[in-house]
Structure formats: C-alpha cells, structure tokens
Amino acid sequence: MTTTAQEKINCVAGSSLPTAQQYNQATANGWGGLHVVRAATDALAVAASTTTNAPAGLSGAELVGIYQGVYQPWGDLPGYAGLCPACTIVPMIPQPGSGTRNTFLADLQFFNGGVPVVLGANVRQGIEENDPSAITTLNSADEPNAIVPFSGGR
C-alpha cells in the first residue's frame, strides 16, 4: 500500500495553540493548514528539587509574593518553619511564548485579584519548559531553593 502526503496525519503535543504565523506557514507548505484537537489537559504544579527548602503547598498568594520579588529568603514567607529561613528563593519561569509560562502568569494574575504580576528582578526567565534539568543542573546552593512551574502530567 502506498501512502500519499494527503493520507498522513502528523501529530504534535503542545501547551499552547498555534500562532497565525504557524498556521499560515503550514498552509504555505501545502499541509492544508493546522487542525487542533484537544486530546487532554493537565494542571500545572510547582516543581522543586527532591531536597528542597520550599515548604509543601505554597499558596497562590505566596507564589505571587515570590514571583514579584516580595518574598526573597524563605523566612519572608509567613509561618515558614523550614530548615533555611535565610536561604534565597530561586524562582524560575519558562521562556516567553511557552504555554506553561502563559498559564502560570494567568494563574498568578488570578491570585493577585485580577492584576497582572510584574516579575521581580530575581526571577530567572527563559527556563526550558517542563525540563527537570532546569533545577537539577543548578549549583548546590541554588538547587534546594529553586521553584518552577511544571506540567503536572510530566
């Protein structure tokens, strides 16, 4: 059996919808455009190292404060009872345009009463989306203090 280009289906997983530019490029390539089918969704979580100074279950308000740069050492978090209150939090966020980043920023905005969150200067930006090495390759001082939004299904 011979398969023609019209009979093939190419699939890709993505955390955001294609842009107009991507759709136009697919059309120009003769692919008939792009067709989006949502097969599943998954929630975001906040990832940390297996050995972490982050408390379990950070609240939305705490995440807003961390990503705005209001809470910088762990001890700034109200009620923090962890091992390293003086350790500096290392908040990270994926690269601009990633679905994980966009969803996380929308979540922060929700927890901030609908007001967009301005990321603090301490936030490390441009981290590869859903890549555990973003944390595991950090130096020994930063790794236990790093947090990053991450796909719950990953």
In a domain, 33, yes or no: no
In a domain, 128, yes or no: yes
Specify the pTM: 0.78
The angle subtended at Cα 134 by Cα 121 and Cα 17, nearest 5°, is: 85
The answer to whether the CB of 92 falls within 8 A of the CB of 147 is yes
In a domain, 141, yes or no: yes
| H-helix or E-strand spanning residue 147 | strand 146-151
CATH number for the domain that contains residue 146: 3.40.190.10
* Spans of the chain below 70 pLDDT: 1-7, 14-15, 40-41, 153-154
Which parts of the chain fold into alpha helices (H)? 20-28, 60-68, 99-111, 133-136
Domain total of the chain: 1
pLDDT of residue 20: 86
Range of the domain at 97: 44-151
In a domain, 132, yes or no: yes
Token pair 């762990």 is found at: 74
